Structure 1
Amino acid sequence: MKQTIRNGSLIAVSALLLGLTAPLAAHASTPPKSEALDWSPCGSGSGSGSGSGSGSGSDPRQECATLQVPLDYADPGGRRIDIAVSRIAAEKPSARRGALLLIPGGPGGSSLDDPSDKGQELPQKVRDSYDLIGFAPRGNAPSTAADCGLDHGDLALTKLRPWPTADGSVTENMTTARRMSQACARNGGELIRHISTVDNARDIDRIRAALGERRISAWGVSYGTYIGAVYAQLFPRRTDRIVLDSNLDPTGDFGRTQLSRAWLAGFAPGVEDMFTQFARWAAEPDNPYRLADTPAAVRSDFLRLAERLDREPLPWPGANPEVLNGMALRQSMLDDFYDPDDFPALAKLILAARQGTVPPAPEAPPEAVLQNVAAVGAATICNDSAWPTSTALYEKGVAKNRVEYPLTAGMPANAMVCAGWSNPPEQAPVRITDRGPSNILLVQNKHDVATPLSGALKLRSALGRRAVMVTVNSTGHDAYLDNGNACGDRTVSRFLATGERPGRDVYCA
C-alpha cells in the first residue's frame, strides 16, 4: 500500500486483497448506461476540486466527471456521495476494447491524475485499446471528503505508524488510538462509518456501469490489489483483464480480528529483507554514501544509532515533531525502502545524524491533504476488520516482535487507531477464493518492504486457478513499469494488450 507523503507527515500505506473466459470483442455490446457520466475538461467543475489528486490533469485530453453513489449500500435509496472520475479516451477508437481502471494504493491514495501520469507509461497498444480511467475513492478529495480533525501531532508518521517507546511500552500508543478514534467519531460524521474496501469495490461497479461497460479491466497497485481482488470476488463476471501489482496478504482469521493487522505485520519481514539490499549497497567501496565496510557493519551501526537517538534525540527543523529520535529514524528507513532510488536519502540522513546535525526536513504537504488521507486510511483499515482492544495483548506481541525483528522495534505488532475505534465493522471481510474466471495476473517484486513476497504468495494461493503470478527479481514497491524489470513489464503489457497470459507462474530473473 502506498501513497507517499514524506518526512514526518504521512505515508498512507495505512494497510488487502481456470476456466478461461472468452475475450470481449472490441465491438461487444454493452448494457445501457446507468447515470451516464457528464464529461468536461478537468478543473471546469466536474470532478475538480482541491486535495491530493485534484484531477487538474497535466494532459489536456484528460476529462473529469462526478458520479453519485449511495453513502450506505444497505440503504441504496438514502443519502448519496460524490465520486470524482477521470479518463483519457482510447487513442485508437477502431481498436478500442474497453476501459482500464487504475486502482490506487493507500488507503488514502487517488488515481484521479493517473490517466495523465502513470497511464502514459503504458505501451501504445494498451493506450490504443483502453479508455484509461482514474478516480478518487470515497472519502478522498475531490470526492466527498472525509476529515477526522486530528491533532497536528497525530499526523506525524511516528503516530500513524504505531512505534512503541524506546523501552517497548505501548501505553502511549493506546492513548493515541483512543484520542484519534474519538476525533474521527466526533468530526467524521456518517461518512467515516462507510469507508471500507467493500464500499470501494461496490463504487467501482457503479463506475463500470456509468461507463457503459459490461466488463472492466483494472490495474491495481498495493492496497489497490486488495480492492481489485475483492471486486473480482464480488463481481467476477464483470471483470475482463485484471492486473494486481505489489500484492497485499488477504488472509485473516475472518473472525474480524486479523485482516488489516496482516498488512501491518508484513513490515517486519519486509524491512528485514530490504535492509539486506540497502546494507549491501551502503557497503560498496565506490559508493559516495558508503556507511561501513561490510553489510553486517551497516546493520549494527544503524541499530546503535537508533538506540542512541532514542536516548539523545537531535533537533530536526520542519519535521513533525521537530526531533529526530530513534522512532523517526526507523520510520525514515521504512519510507526510503519503498524505492531503491531513495537509498541515498537514507544514507545521507544517517551520516548527518552520526555527526549530530540534521538538515531541515523537506516541506510537508498542506495539512488539509494530510487530514484527508489520514481519515480515509484510518476509516478503511478500522472498518475492514476489528482490532483487539487489550493493552496486554499488544504488549506481548510487541515484546516478541522486537526480539525477532530488531529493525522495526515492535511497530508491526502494535496498536493503531483501530484499537480504540468506536464503531465495529458492519460486515465481515470478503474471503478471496478460487471461484471465478481465470483472468487475473499478479506481478510482484521479490524484495518489497510494504507488500512482501510472502504475503503476495498468500493471495496467489487464495486465488488458485483464477490467477497466474509473475515474480520479478527486483527491489522496491510497485513492480510494473516502475521498480520491476523488462521481463515482468513485457509479460504484463502482453496480457493487457492481447489477453495472452503465462500458462503457469513464472520467475523473471
Structure 2
Amino acid sequence: MPPAVRPRSALCALVTTVAAALAATPVPATPALAHDATALRFGACPASMPVPPAPDRVECGSLDVPLNWSESQGKRIRVAVSRVPASGAPGERRGVLLVNPGGPGGPGLSYAVTKRVKLPESVRRAYDVIGFDPRGTGQSAPAGCGPMGGLFESPGPEPVPAGRRAEEAYLDSLGRMADDCAADVGDALPHLSTTATARDMDAIRAALGEERIGFLGVSYGSYLGAAYAALFPRHVGRMVLDSVVGPWDWYDFDLRQSRALLRRREVFFAWAAGHEKHFGLGGSAAEVRDAYERTRHGLASRPQDGFGAAEFDRAVYRALGRTERWAGLADGLRAYLHDGGTALLRPKDAFDSAASRTYEAANRTVKCADGPGPSPARVVADLRRVRRLDPQPVLTGMEASVCAYWHHRPAHRTPLGSPEAPPVLLVASEHDPVTPVEGARQLARRLPGSRLVTLHDDYSHGVFASRGNACVDGVAAAYLVGGTIPAADVHCAGPGLPTP
C-alpha cells in the first residue's frame, strides 16, 4: 500500500477562450525592450542578447497580452519578442518563422539568433526568424517558486526513494514544492499554460501583420506547435516539429522518458566498455555499470562540495540526451574513481542560477496547468515499477509528479493537432531518450497529411539544423522554403555512436 498522503486543495477548472481584442492597458515601460501598447515595434535588445554574425541584425520588442485570455480587459503581462530579418531579396521572402527551443520553461528571446545561425541558408534568406520568451520565462512575467520544496538544496536529497519512509519524504517534498509555487506564482498559476502561450503566439502573428506563421518547435516546442495548430489551424503556415513530445499527459510522457533513459544508459555502458582502453572503466557493460554505481553510491554517501546523488543524476540526465556528451560522462566517472574529483561531472551551467530557478519553476507550472495530474498513490506505484526495471533509475525528468499536489488542477487536457491544419513536417531521432520516437508517430496521426523524417542510427535529442545531417536538413529546408511536403515518410541515415 502507498504511504499516507497530505490533503490538498480542491480541483479548479481552467477555462480558456479566444479573446475578443488585443487592446492594451498602459503598463510601466521596460528599459531593456522597445514597446508599444497596441503594436509590436522593434528596437534595441537587452545587453545579454547574442550578436548575430554580420550583416545580420537582431532587434527586440514586447507585446502586452491578457494574463487570462478569457478576460481580455483584465490584468496583462508583457511578452518579450526578438527578430532577425530575412537576409534574402524581397522576392525570396516567405514570411516569419517563430522558433521555440523547448522546455517547458526555456526562454526563447536569444534563440532567434542562436538557432538561425544553424539553419540552412535558403531558410535564413526566406524568413524573418522570430524568437520570444514564453509567458513564465525570461523577460515574459517570469515564474518563481522560491525554494521549490528543497529542489535547490546543495547537495540535494536522494532523488530515488527506496522504502516507505523515503517515499513519504519524497511525497512531502512534492507537496512543499506545490505550496511554494502557489505562494509565489499566485493568481497566475492557472494561466502559465501551453494553451495560453499558443494564444500569445497568435497575438504576435497579428501584431506582425501576418496571415499565417511559420513555426519551428524543438522538444516542448513541438507540443506548443501542436497546441497552436489545434487552436488556430487556419493561421498555420509551414511548421516543423523536431524531437517531438507525444500527445500524452505530461506525467505519462515523463514515465516514458524515464524508461527510455534506462535503455539508453545500457547503450552507454556497452559503448564505454567498447572503448575500455580510452576510458578504463572495464571491458564489459557490467563492469562499466559497476563503475557507474560505485560513483553514484560514493557521492550519495559522501557528497563533494555540494555535489551528491541528485546532482550526479542531473549530470547523467543531461549527458544521455546528446552523444557528444558521453565521453565527458565516461571521463568524469574515471576521474572520480581515480581521485574522488567531480569537476568533469559538473555541468558548466550552474543549476542554482537565477535562470535555472526560473526554468524549473516554469517547467512545473506549465506542466501542471496543461492537464490533470496523477494521484499521490499512482506516483508511488510508478516509482516502484520503475525501480523494478532498474533499482537505480534516473528520475530527473519526472517533473510532473508534483502535479499530484498542485493547487489549481485543470479538468481538461491541452488539445493538440487539428484535421483542419495543413500538413506539417515532424522530425525525430530513432533512439532519442528525451523524446522517444513513438511520440512523433503518435502526434502525426493528429495532423493528417503530415510526414515524419526519422534520423536512423542516431541517439541524440534535437535533429534539424542541429545534427548536421544533410538529408534531414535538405528535406526540412525544401519544405519551409518551397512548401514541398514529401510524398511519404522520409528515412535518413544517421551517424551511429561516436568515437571518443
State the Cα distance separating 1:411 from its structure 2 match: 6.7
Q: Is the 8 A contact 1:98 1:130 kept in 2?
A: yes
The amino acid across from 2:389 in the alignment is E
Report whether the alignment pairs 1:358 with 2:341: yes
Name structure 2 gaps, 5 residues minimum. 1-35, 494-500
Separation of aligned partners in 1, 2:156 and 2:368: 16
Which stretch shows the higher mean deviation, 429-438 or 494-503?
429-438
2:372 to 365, 386, 389: 386
Q: Is the 8 A contact 1:236 1:436 kept in 2?
A: yes
Q: Is the 8 A contact 1:402 1:409 kept in 2?
A: no
Report whether the alignment pairs 1:375 with 2:361: yes
Instruction: Name the residue aligned to 2:16.
Output: none
State the Cα distance separating 1:407 from its structure 2 match: 4.7
Instruction: Name the residue aligned to 1:83.
Output: 79
Instruction: Name the residue aligned to 2:9.
Output: none
Instruction: Name the residue aligned to 1:211.
Output: 208
Q: Structure 1, residues 26-72: CA drift from partner, whole Å, max 9, x if none?
A: xxxxxxx99321110213xxxx7xxxxx5454456100001010100
Q: Is the 8 A contact 2:95 2:126 kept in 1?
A: yes
Instruction: Name the residue aligned to 1:63.
Output: 59
1:281 to 259, 265, 271: 271
TM-score, with length taken from structure 1:
0.82
State the Cα distance separating 1:356 from its structure 2 match: 5.6
**Which structure has the higher relative contact order (CA within 8 Å, separation 6+)?**
1
Report whether the alignment pairs 1:337 with 2:334: no
Q: Structure 1, residues 416-468: CA drift from partner, whole Å, max 9, x if none?
A: 3222211122x6123335512332100000111210112222222333x2311
2:94 to 70, 83, 97: 97
State the Cα distance separating 1:229 from its structure 2 match: 0.5
Name structure 1 gaps, 5 residues minimum. 1-32, 49-53, 252-258
Separation of aligned partners in 2, 1:368 and 1:333: 22
Separation of aligned partners in 2, 1:454 and 1:356: 41
1:487 to 471, 484, 488: 471
The amino acid across from 2:401 in the alignment is M
Q: Is the 8 A contact 2:97 2:215 kept in 1?
A: yes
Instruction: Name the residue aligned to 1:295.
Output: 285
Which stretch shows the higher mean deviation, 279-288 or 209-218?
279-288
Separation of aligned partners in 2, 1:188 and 1:414: 17
Instruction: Name the residue aligned to 1:315.
Output: 303
Separation of aligned partners in 1, 2:121 and 2:154: 39
Q: Is the 8 A contact 1:271 1:337 kept in 2?
A: yes
Give SS of 1:496's match: helix
Separation of aligned partners in 2, 1:63 and 1:415: 35
Report whether the alignment pairs 1:417 with 2:402: yes
Which stretch shows the higher mean deviation, 357-366 or 410-419?
410-419
Q: Is the 8 A contact 2:175 2:405 kept in 1?
A: yes
The amino acid across from 1:357 in the alignment is G
State the Cα distance separating 1:94 from its structure 2 match: 2.5
The amino acid across from 2:302 in the alignment is L
Separation of aligned partners in 1, 2:324 and 2:284: 21
1:271 to 1:151, Cα distance in 2 relative to 1, 3 A:
closer
1:434 to 1:299, Cα distance in 2 relative to 1, 3 A:
farther
Q: Structure 1, residues 227-261: CA drift from partner, whole Å, max 9, x if none?
A: 0001011111101110000001112xxxxxxx110
Q: Is the 8 A contact 1:137 1:200 kept in 2?
A: yes
Q: Is the 8 A contact 1:170 1:394 kept in 2?
A: no
Separation of aligned partners in 1, 2:444 and 2:153: 34
Give SS of 1:131's match: strand
Report whether the alignment pairs 1:399 with 2:402: no
The amino acid across from 1:81 in the alignment is I
Give SS of 1:346's match: helix
Q: Is the 8 A contact 1:221 1:245 kept in 2?
A: yes
- 1:6-25 equivalences under 5 Å are none
Q: Is the 8 A contact 2:370 2:414 kept in 1?
A: no
The amino acid across from 2:408 in the alignment is N
Separation of aligned partners in 2, 1:206 and 1:171: 44
Q: Is the 8 A contact 1:155 1:370 kept in 2?
A: no
Instruction: Name the residue aligned to 2:23.
Output: none
Q: Is the 8 A contact 1:249 1:459 kept in 2?
A: yes
1:55 to 1:415, Cα distance in 2 relative to 1, 3 A:
closer
1:393 to 1:414, Cα distance in 2 relative to 1, 3 A:
farther
2:332 to 335, 339, 349: 349
Instruction: Name the residue aligned to 1:198.
Output: 195
Give SS of 2:112's match: coil
Separation of aligned partners in 2, 1:273 and 1:292: 19
Give SS of 1:477's match: coil
Report whether the alignment pairs 1:163 with 2:159: yes
Report whether the alignment pairs 1:245 with 2:242: yes
Instruction: Name the residue aligned to 1:37.
Output: 40
Give SS of 2:189's match: helix
The amino acid across from 2:455 in the alignment is V
Give SS of 1:180's match: helix
Give SS of 2:97's match: strand
1:232 to 1:77, Cα distance in 2 relative to 1, 3 A:
same
Instruction: Name the residue aligned to 1:435.
Output: 419
Q: Structure 1, residues 289-333: CA drift from partner, whole Å, max 9, x if none?
A: 242212343235434554x337x623322xxxx1423x4433322
The amino acid across from 2:199 in the alignment is R
Q: Is the 8 A contact 2:364 2:399 kept in 1?
A: no
Matched residue count = 450
1:450 to 434, 456, 460: 434
Separation of aligned partners in 1, 2:84 and 2:57: 6
- 1:168-187 equivalences under 5 Å are 169-187=166-184
TM-score, with length taken from structure 2:
0.83
Provide the aligned C-alpha RMSD in A: 2.7
1:411 to 1:124, Cα distance in 2 relative to 1, 3 A:
closer
Separation of aligned partners in 1, 2:431 and 2:160: 26
1:247 to 1:272, Cα distance in 2 relative to 1, 3 A:
same
Separation of aligned partners in 2, 1:140 and 1:127: 26
1:454 to 1:118, Cα distance in 2 relative to 1, 3 A:
same
Which stretch shows the higher mean deviation, 162-171 or 487-496?
162-171
State the Cα distance separating 1:89 from its structure 2 match: 0.9
Which stretch shows the higher mean deviation, 134-143 or 149-158?
149-158
